[in-house]
Structure 1
């Protein structure tokens, strides 16, 4: 199984983003695009998309893109700027694009837009990449 197939299989088994309705649209080395529709339980008390829901969408794209080359990667830091509100029913698309890659780190540009291209959030994520594959129990 190649690394992209492995990442797809791991995503299919990841219940948290799937519980939010996050769909994997595209996956390539150093790149991922995911989408979800904001539902009533994803808004804050202002009635607009909750920052945590939007962040989770961007973070999911980051996780997929940063793991797409076969070595395990985990986020070290993610900084997000919320640009525009998104009401219930809005289809959001998050894209993660690799900007810089070393043996142990990667930097990714993350964008969250509406399905028609309006900017909702911009973010940057830095990940730590492990040189060899590890079993999940080794992380504890």
Structure 2
């Protein structure tokens, strides 16, 4: 897990905003720096699948958003090239999900990140790897 230490870099978070889509499903930004980010989501019953558990697409969106916010904090215009996710446990409406992401490698135009999503009681829900393309305007 990522340490929650206060640094000057965390001030970047106050200048960032989530996309309207991320906001619409309830994602909240806690902090983002050029190396890590922490977001959370308390999913409601509107995002369950046919089995009554949180839809995997919501969890994937949380992971992708978390990793992307790091790049936004670093002022790097980037788009997702690949998102790989392993679902480790199910989760239900009302469970607080915490996404903690970090950069693994800043390449020239390709950036590799990872994200662990856990419940607030420490249960691991999903692990994701994101590959992003740094595009130049």
The two structures share one fold, judged by TM-score above 0.5: yes
Give, in angstroms, the shift of residue 8 of structure 1. 5.5
Structure 1 stretches of at least 4 aligned residues deviating more than 2 Å after TM superposition: 7-12
**Which residue of structure 2 lines up, in the alignment, with residue 71 of structure 1?**
76
SS in 1 for 2:66: helix
Cα separation, 1, equivalents of 2:68 and 2:76: 12
- Listed as ranges, the gaps of 5+ residues in structure 2 are 1-8
Question: Which of the numbers 75, 98, 117 marks the counterpart of 1:112?
Answer: 117
Give, in angstroms, the shift of residue 65 of structure 1. 1.0
SS in 2 for 1:11: coil
The size of the alignment, in residue pairs, is 128
| RMSD (CA atoms) | 1.8
- Listed as ranges, the gaps of 5+ residues in structure 1 are 135-140
Corresponding position: 1:11 with 2:17: yes
Question: Which of the numbers 60, 66, 75 marks the counterpart of 1:61?
Answer: 66
TM superposition score normalised by structure 1: 0.84
Give, in angstroms, the shift of residue 9 of structure 1. 4.7
TM superposition score normalised by structure 2: 0.85
**Which residue of structure 2 lines up, in the alignment, with residue 138 of structure 1?**
none
The superposition leaves residues 22-67 of structure 1 with CA deviations (integer Å, 9 ceiling, x where unpaired) of 0000111121111110100111111111001111111110110122
Cα separation, 2, equivalents of 1:8 and 1:25: 9
